[in-house]
């Protein structure tokens, strides 16, 4: 059960962040202010209500699974998790809430775009860290094979 929960949370977490990230870029570049406001609202509800429990589930089930596993890949995943959680809770969640608040009030000023840029940088950072955890997880379970450097060169 923890294995299945971890697989689902481990796939859903990066998918959520990637969806928020790409939809934000598309709507900011091509959408109206109304579309931006609609997206900012969707990122908070239901977005954050899916992302936060998913992150907690990935971290919790991962720590549980790590009790019976040792090694470099497990250690690397364990080290990344506090950064993923802190970045999510301290940067992404407040950014999403402020942006939603300002966009729904029609306030698209310099502060809005600075916070939007900060959210995109934090989102890209978390996407990278979560992607690395996903890759190392799939390596741990043998679903992703590591190609030896010699084989890659030939």
Q: Is 10 in the site for ligand HEM (CB under 6 A)?
A: yes
Per-residue binding string, ligand HEM, 79-118, x by CB under 6 A, is --x--x----------------------------------
Cα three-residue angle 8-49-9, rounded to 5 degrees: 10
What number of chain residues touch ligand HEM (CB under 6 A)? 27
Residue 84 vs 95, nearer CB to ligand HEM? 84
**Which residues lie below 8 Å from residue 145, measured CB to CB, with a gap of 6+?**
139
Closest approach of Cβ 42 to ligand HEM, in Å?
Answer: 22
Q: Is 3 in the site for ligand HEM (CB under 6 A)?
A: yes
Q: Which of residues 118-147 bind ligand HEM (CB under 6 A)?
A: 130, 133-134, 137-138, 140-141, 143
Q: Say how far apart CA 47 and CA 85 lie, in whole Å.
A: 16
Q: Is 13 in the site for ligand HEM (CB under 6 A)?
A: yes
- Whole-number Cα distances in Å, 135 to 15, 48, 95, 142, 146: 14, 24, 27, 10, 10
Structure token digits, residue 33: 């202010």
Residue 16 vs 36, nearer CB to ligand HEM? 16
Structure token digits, residue 49: 């209500």
Supply the DSSP string of 118-138, one letter for each residue: HHHHHHHHHHHHHHHHHHHHH
130 and 13 in contact (C-beta within 8 Å)?
yes
Q: Is 59 in the site for ligand HEM (CB under 6 A)?
A: yes
**Residue ranges that bind ligand HEM, judged by CB under 6 A:** 3, 6-7, 10-11, 13-14, 58-59, 62-63, 65-66, 69, 74, 77-78, 81, 84, 130, 133-134, 137-138, 140-141, 143
């Amino acid at each position: 059960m923890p294995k299945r929960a971890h697989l689902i949370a481990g796939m859903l977490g990066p998918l959520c962040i990637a969806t928020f990230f790409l939809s934000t870029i598309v709507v900011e570049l091509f959408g109206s202010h109304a579309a931006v406001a609609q997206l900012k609202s969707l990122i908070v509800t239901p977005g954050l209500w899916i992302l936060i429990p998913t992150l907690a589930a990935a971290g919790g089930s991962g720590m549980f699974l790590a009790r019976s596993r040792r090694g470099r890949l497990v250690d690397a995943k364990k080290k990344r998790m506090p950064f993923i959680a802190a970045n999510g809770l301290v940067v992404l969640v407040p950014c999403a809430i402020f942006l939603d608040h300002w966009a729904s009030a029609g306030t698209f000023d310099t502060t809005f775009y600075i916070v939007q840029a900060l959210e995109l940088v934090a989102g890209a950072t978390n996407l990278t860290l979560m992607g690395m955890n996903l890759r190392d997880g799939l390596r741990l379970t043998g679903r992703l094979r590591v190609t030896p450097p010699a084989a890659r060169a030939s």
